[in-house]
């Protein structure tokens, strides 16, 4: 489903430039769960941003469902970002002034689809992650683990085929990490492809495969 071919990414110019990705290659099957590990600065976040269509590359190809995402522009690129990919970050980036349910609904609202059906789906996602009684709570009223579970529910709202998670448990204690991890485990049943950047051996071991990135 995902085929990355000779991806190159440099930040800066001239002598001070940093080559973050050098002819990077990776293939991921539909429904596969891949852990991406490597020391800080290895380019893990940069890679996820590029795969998610949030950053550009200098050269290379990323075929997603047999289409090079670098050929996508305008509405087509928006569609890819909003419909195919769901992002979960280390810090949840929930919107403080919106309830948990509204935050989960946000991707649908942005797509102009604030429908009763989508509202029910958002509620079902919160229920699935044990947050039914938190629908009308604001992010500041939720624990770190609850915030991150809400962020995962939001990432699933538009029924993406791929979740990109950048250190999703990086700011959580052990108990909350385990809870969030079990939510990621449950995605297996949906056939959703998951790329997860992590420093946590437990998470890495729970994945189908581990890709190690080296610092350039």
Ligand X SMILES: Nc1ncnc2c1ncn2[C@@H]1O[C@H](COP(=O)(O)OP(=O)(O)O)[C@@H](O)[C@H]1O
Interface residue list for ligand X (CB under 6 A): 11-12, 18, 20, 38, 40-46
CB of 136 to Mg ion, least distance (A): 33
- Name 213's Cβ contacts closer than 8 Å, sequence gap at least 6: 24, 36, 37, 38, 42, 43, 44, 47
Which residue matches tokens 């890709």?
211
d(CA 199, CA 145): 17
Strands 193-197 and 33-37: parallel
CB nearer to ligand X: pick between 36 and 131 = 36
The CA-based angle 160-142-195, given to 5 degrees, is 30
d(CA 77, CA 69): 7
d(CA 123, CA 51): 29
Residue 112 near which of ligand X, Mg ion, none (CB within 5-8 Å, type-dependent): none
Residue 46 near which of ligand X, Mg ion, none (CB within 5-8 Å, type-dependent): ligand X
CB nearer to Mg ion: pick between 187 and 197 = 197
CB nearer to Mg ion: pick between 103 and 169 = 169
Q: Which positions from 33 through 62 interact with Mg ion, judged by CB under 5 A?
A: 44-45
d(CA 189, CA 16): 46
CB of 188 to ligand X, least distance (A): 25
Q: Which positions from 178 through 207 interact with Mg ion, judged by CB under 5 A?
A: none
CB of 49 to Mg ion, least distance (A): 9
Q: Could you tell me the two tokens for 114?
A: 């604030």
Residue 20 near which of ligand X, Mg ion, none (CB within 5-8 Å, type-dependent): ligand X
Q: Which positions from 90 through 119 interact with Mg ion, judged by CB under 5 A?
A: none
Residue 18 near which of Mg ion, ligand X, none (CB within 5-8 Å, type-dependent): ligand X
Residue 60 near which of ligand X, Mg ion, none (CB within 5-8 Å, type-dependent): none
Q: Could you tell me the two tokens for 10?
A: 């440099």
Residues found near Mg ion in the complex (CB under 5 A): 44-45
């Amino acid at each position: 489903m995902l085929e990355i071919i000779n991806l190159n990414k440099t930040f800066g110019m001239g002598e001070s430039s940093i080559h973050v990705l050098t002819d990077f290659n990776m293939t991921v099957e539909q429904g596969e769960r891949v852990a991406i590990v490597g020391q800080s600065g290895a380019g893990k976040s940069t890679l996820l941003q590029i795969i998610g269509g949030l950053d550009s590359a200098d050269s290379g190809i990323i075929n997603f469902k047999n289409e090079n995402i670098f050929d996508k522009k305008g509405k087509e690129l928006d569609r890819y970002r909003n419909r195919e990919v769901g992002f979960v970050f280390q810090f949840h980036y929930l919107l403080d002034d919106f309830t948990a349910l509204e935050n989960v609904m946000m991707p649908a609202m942005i797509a102009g689809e604030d429908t009763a059906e989508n509202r029910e789906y958002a509620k079902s996602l919160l229920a699935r992650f044990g947050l039914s009684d938190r629908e009308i709570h604001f992010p500041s009223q939720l624990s770190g683990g609850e915030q991150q579970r809400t962020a995962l529910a939001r990432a699933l709202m538009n029924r993406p085929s791929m979740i990109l998670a950048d250190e999703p448990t990086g700011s959580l204690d052990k108990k909350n990490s385990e809870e969030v991890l079990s939510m990621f485990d449950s995605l297996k049943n949906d056939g959703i492809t998951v790329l997860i950047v992590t420093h946590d051996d437990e998470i890495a071991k729970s994945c189908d495969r581990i890709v190690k990135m080296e610092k350039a």
